[in-house]
Amino acid sequence: MVLRVGMLAPVAWRTPPEHYGPWERVTSLLTEGLVRRGVAVTLFATADSVTEAELDAVVPHGYEGDRLMDGRVWEALHVAHAIERSGEVDIVHNQMDWLPLAFSSLWDVPLVTTIHGFSGAGILPAYEASSSALVSISDSDRSPALDYVATVHHGVDAAELPLVVTPDDYLVSFGRIHPDKGTAQAIEIAWRAGRRLVVCGIIHDREYFASQAEPYLDGDCVTFRGSVGADERAQVLGNAAALLHPIDFDEPFGLSVVEAMLCGTPVVAYRRGSMPEIIDEGVTGRTVTTIGQAVAAVDEVTVLDRRRIHERAALRFGVERMVDDYLRVYEQVLARHARTAHRRWA
């Protein structure tokens, strides 16, 4: 019997996103991977999404790109529609945060929720009260207040991120322009290391960008590329000598870190959140705690074997491994649901 999965995507952006949208990107990779395995997937996403699954949409396009759309309204309509159709699948996989959990008693089938990161302690009650099976994206991002069915690291498609054996000499900072991502620290690290820096990412904090980044953008030593699409992302990451990731928060995962490593590009990251879990010290990069250590680490990582970096990243973070992990989660959750239903019937 064919497994039927309802995949509930976020609707801030298209699935997959054209530029920024890490949750939507992971949702797309998993959806297409499941379809390749013969799973019947109904993707609940924006109407302009691109997928080989059955697409079902009530949201015309991502609300983040349309100032006239109220995200709260469209998310509620999106969830309500998926609830109405939930009886047509075997299991629903929630990728869009806490809102679907507030109505967990209304879903007709078991619910699995991937927690992509907590926006704050204030949303924990929705998780604590839910009957959904919870999946963390790293061991470091687990809350002691919750029970989890598994940790599943994100997977990326190696075909989209080809290995570059002979890169350029620039460094790259790739992520939201925000204090959390350490854009200003990346600029200082590159300057002190005597390297050019390419900065890529959507501007999430305009005041921070204007004061901490824009004054240093000269188009030579520091270049700003903005938010880049899939093809350009592979080119920018793959041709970099190293990725700088001096984060100032406990990052749940760090998709750009894995994407860089798939290209063979080593990473220098601050030792916070999931970074020690994702980076293999001395193999795919280095984790550090200060700017001085980061500057010294640049020369250390740029001599690492890029083929070995790519191979390690493909082994640990390939999309097919992620698909395998989630199929095991679905099997476990469905088996538990069947046992519970049998006990109620008995």
CATH of the domain at 262: 3.40.50.2000
Mean pLDDT, residues 292-311 taken together: 98
Q: Are 257 and 298 in the same domain?
A: yes
The chain-wide mean pLDDT, for the chain, equals 94
Task: Give the pLDDT band (50/70/90) at residue 229.
Answer: confident
| Amino acid 346: pLDDT | 43
Tell me which residue range forms the domain holding 335: 4-155+318-345
Q: Are 258 and 337 in the same domain?
A: no
Q: Are 149 and 220 in the same domain?
A: no
Q: Are 312 and 325 in the same domain?
A: no
Which pTM does this prediction carry?
0.92
Asked whether residue 173 carries a pLDDT value surpassing 80, the answer given is: yes
| Amino acid 340: pLDDT | 63
Q: How many domains does the chain have?
A: 2
| Amino acid 1: pLDDT | 85
Q: Which residues of 14-31 are buried (b: 16+ CB within 10 A; e: fewer)?
A: bbbbebbbbbbbbbbbbb
CA 258, CA 157: separation in Å to the nearest integer? 10
Give the pairing of strands 133-136 and 150-151.
parallel
User: What is the tens place of the pLDDT at every residue in 74-112?
Assistant: 999 999 999 999 999 999 999 999 999 999 889 999 999
Q: Are 164 and 311 in the same domain?
A: yes
Total residue length of the chain: 346
Q: Are 176 and 61 in the same domain?
A: no
Q: Are 124 and 259 in the same domain?
A: no
Q: Is 62 helix (H, G, I), strand (E, B) or coil?
A: coil
Q: Are 78 and 130 in the same domain?
A: yes
